[in-house]
Amino acid sequence: MSQYLNFYIKVPNEETYLPIGSFSRSNAVYRYGNKFAPYEAGTPITYDTPAQIREDIDYSIDEYKKDLEVLLGQHADIIKMNNSVEEKQEALHDIYCSQNEIKHEIEDLEYAKRYYSFIADIINSVEFDEKYDFNNYVYFGVEWCPDYNEEE
């Protein structure tokens, strides 16, 4: 069974939660957010949480980009090697597959970064509105799905 990291907006002056996202373990949004979210409970996302998560994602993206550069260097080395054409083709194919995997992971990380920017934008948009408590507006939790009439 897969776990999900769920996001909700709490309707002001009500005990109603509107779902705004649900992400499985295989998704970068889950992988980077789950360390901040409780299991089978909801917690408000603090003002600093999306920024910290985006910083973690940026670090990972930079590491993956370094890996891509290493693979590009290996590509040039393989071409210069004194091996058979078949061996070179196989090695180049392996590098090509690794590059594609890394590029897809970077795309997933970029999506997660945009999602956490979206969450930060929601929090920022209500920060100066008196009818909203921006510290108790956006909630998330692993395997947490509040009933729409649930009281905290």
* Residue 40 φ/ψ region, left for φ over 0, alpha for ψ in the -120 to 50 degree band, beta for the rest: left
Q: Among residues 24, 23, 45, which one has the least CA distance to residue 36? A: 45
Measured distance CA(134)–CA(17) in Å, rounded: 14
Q: How far apart are CA 33 and CA 112, in angstroms?
A: 9
pLDDT confidence of residue 69: 93
In this prediction, residue 81 carries a pLDDT of 84
* pLDDT given at position 150: 47
The pLDDT of residue 76: 82
Predicted local confidence at residue 149, as pLDDT? 37
Residue 70, judged by CB atoms within 10 A of its CB (0-12, 13-18, 19+), counts as exposed
User: What is this structure's pTM?
Assistant: 0.84
Rounded to 5 degrees, what angle do the CA atoms 103, 107, 110 make? Answer: 135
pLDDT score of 55 more than 70:
yes
- The stretch 71-93 carries a mean pLDDT of 87
pLDDT in tens, 98-150: 999 999 999 999 999 999 999 999 888 876 666 666 557 899 999 998 864 34
